[in-house]
């Protein structure tokens, strides 16, 4: 159902891609803002400064564990002070209950601690300046943040399959293990967006496996709500799109479906800036005059 000519800009892109310039390729991860922050919030906490350092171990053994939300905090600070409780009155009671003459109320002090667990190494570097903090790095996230995830072979892969989607005229393809799984381009059906066509063209499979588990999807236009949700059901791993679209819901300027906590599957989203591609915001497929996507919310 390919009735339209590709826009001029896309045609220009086609010719430049024959000799892909890997240096010029930009692939921008669309990340949760929580991961992009280098600092995390702090909150006040009560700690006790112990003059006799030998008492520390003894005291810790008698204190209850910190509540779940503060499990990222180490109990003892660099200066040997020990975390007691978030609340001042509770802390005083806890100190009195210890009944240890060395541990006195006058040694209670208010300090700052990281209010949440650091999610990235950068946040950890910030947090540990505030108070000793535990951290379990997510290596995949670290590679995305420092850019090392985008290897030369991955660049070749992204250019190859993005080009394939472009050649389908605003198309959508799914790829598993570098093999084409399914493809689609916009149809005349009111809901015939490229993603829906791609899903409809999937080879039929029996069993309860999610067909797209681990698949990469390449799209020319940023998907609408309906299509983005279809890809959640499809259980894809990564989505790459070339152009932002007016009814797209993955870019940074508002509610982003792939970052919605209540959704039961999350895929990674990347904006692909191919060499010589100008980032113009498109109308997501001119086939549909009434937009399903805006009614969806
Ligand atoms: Zn759509």
Asked whether residue 8 carries a pLDDT value surpassing 70, the answer given is: no
CA 225 to ligand 1 center in whole angstroms? 6
Asked whether residue 64 carries a pLDDT value surpassing 60, the answer given is: yes
CA 250 to ligand 1 center in whole angstroms? 12
pLDDT band per the 50, 70, 90 thresholds, residue 289: very low
pLDDT band per the 50, 70, 90 thresholds, residue 205: low
CA 279 to ligand 1 center in whole angstroms? 19
CA 292 to ligand 1 center in whole angstroms? 8
Show Cβ contacts of residue 105 under 8 Å, excluding neighbours closer than 6 positions.
92, 95, 96
CA 245 to ligand 1 center in whole angstroms? 10
CA 2 to ligand 1 center in whole angstroms? 17
Domains of the chain (ranges plus CATH)? 8-30+151-296 (3.40.140.10), 42-137 (no CATH)
pLDDT in tens, 104-140: 899 999 999 999 999 999 999 999 999 999 999 999 9
| Bridge partners of residue 112, in order along the sequence | 44
CA 249 to ligand 1 center in whole angstroms? 10
Which three-class secondary structure state does DSSP give residue 105?
Answer: helix
CA 34 to ligand 1 center in whole angstroms? 27
CA 271 to ligand 1 center in whole angstroms? 17
Instruction: Give the whole-angstrom CA distance, residue 10 versus residue 66.
Output: 57
CA 186 to ligand 1 center in whole angstroms? 9
- DSSP of 151-163: -HHHHHHHHHHHH
CA 293 to ligand 1 center in whole angstroms? 7
CA 195 to ligand 1 center in whole angstroms? 6
Asked whether residue 255 carries a pLDDT value surpassing 90, the answer given is: no
Asked whether residue 203 carries a pLDDT value surpassing 80, the answer given is: no
CA 169 to ligand 1 center in whole angstroms? 15
pLDDT of residue 51: 76
CA 227 to ligand 1 center in whole angstroms? 4
CA 147 to ligand 1 center in whole angstroms? 30
CA 274 to ligand 1 center in whole angstroms? 22
CA 53 to ligand 1 center in whole angstroms? 64
pLDDT band per the 50, 70, 90 thresholds, residue 20: low
Report the range of poorest mean pLDDT among 16-25, 31-40, 146-155, 187-196: 16-25
What's the chain look like in SS3?
A: CCCCCCCHHHHHHHHHCCCCCCCCCEEEECCCHHHHCCCCCEEEEEEECCCCCCHHHHHHHHCCCCCHHHCCECCECCCCCEEEECCHHHHHHHHHHHCCCCCCHHHEEEEEEECCCCCCHHHHHHHHHHCCECCCCCHHHHHHHHCCCCCHHHHHHHHHHHHHHHHCCCCEEEEECCEEEEEECCCCCCCCCHHHHHHHCCCCCCCCCCCCCCCEEEEEECCCHHHHHHHHHCCCCEEEEEECECCCCCCCCCCCHHHCCCCCCCCEEEEEECCCCCCCCECCCCCCCCCHHHHHC
CA 31 to ligand 1 center in whole angstroms? 21
Instruction: Give the whole-angstrom CA distance, residue 280 versus residue 243.
Output: 7
């Amino acid at each position: 159902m390919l009735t339209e000519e590709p826009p001029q800009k896309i045609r220009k892109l086609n010719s430049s891609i024959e000799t892909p310039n890997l240096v010029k390729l930009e692939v921008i991860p669309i990340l949760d803002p929580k991961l992009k922050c280098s600092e995390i919030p702090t909150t006040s906490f009560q700690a006790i400064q112990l003059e006799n350092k030998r008492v520390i171990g003894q005291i810790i053994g008698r204190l209850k564990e910190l509540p779940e939300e503060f499990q990222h905090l180490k109990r003892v600070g660099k200066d040997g002070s020990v975390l007691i409780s978030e609340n001042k009155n509770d802390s005083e009671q806890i100190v009195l209950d210890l009944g240890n003459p060395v541990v006195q109320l006058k040694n209670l002090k208010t300090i700052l601690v990281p209010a949440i667990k650091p999610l990235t190494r950068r946040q950890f570097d910030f947090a540990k300046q505030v108070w000793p903090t535990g951290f379990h790095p997510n290596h995949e996230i670290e590679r995305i943040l420092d850019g090392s995830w985008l290897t030369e072979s991955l660049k070749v892969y992204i250019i190859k399959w993005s080009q394939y989607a472009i050649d389908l005229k605003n198309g959508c393809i799914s790829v598993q293990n570098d093999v084409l799984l399914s493809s689609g381009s916009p149809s005349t059906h009111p809901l015939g967006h490229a993603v829906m066509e791609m899903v409809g063209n999937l080879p039929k499979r029996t069993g309860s496996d999610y067909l797209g588990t681990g698949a990469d999807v390449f799209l020319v236009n940023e998907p609408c709500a309906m299509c983005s949700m279809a890809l959640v059901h499809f259980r894809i791993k990564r989505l790459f799109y070339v152009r932002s679209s007016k009814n797209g819901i993955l870019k940074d300027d508002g509610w982003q479906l792939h970052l919605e906590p209540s959704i039961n599957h999350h895929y990674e989203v990347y904006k692909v800036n191919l060499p010589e591609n100008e980032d113009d915001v498109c109308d997501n497929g001119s086939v549909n005059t009434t937009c399903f996507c805006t009614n969806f919310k």
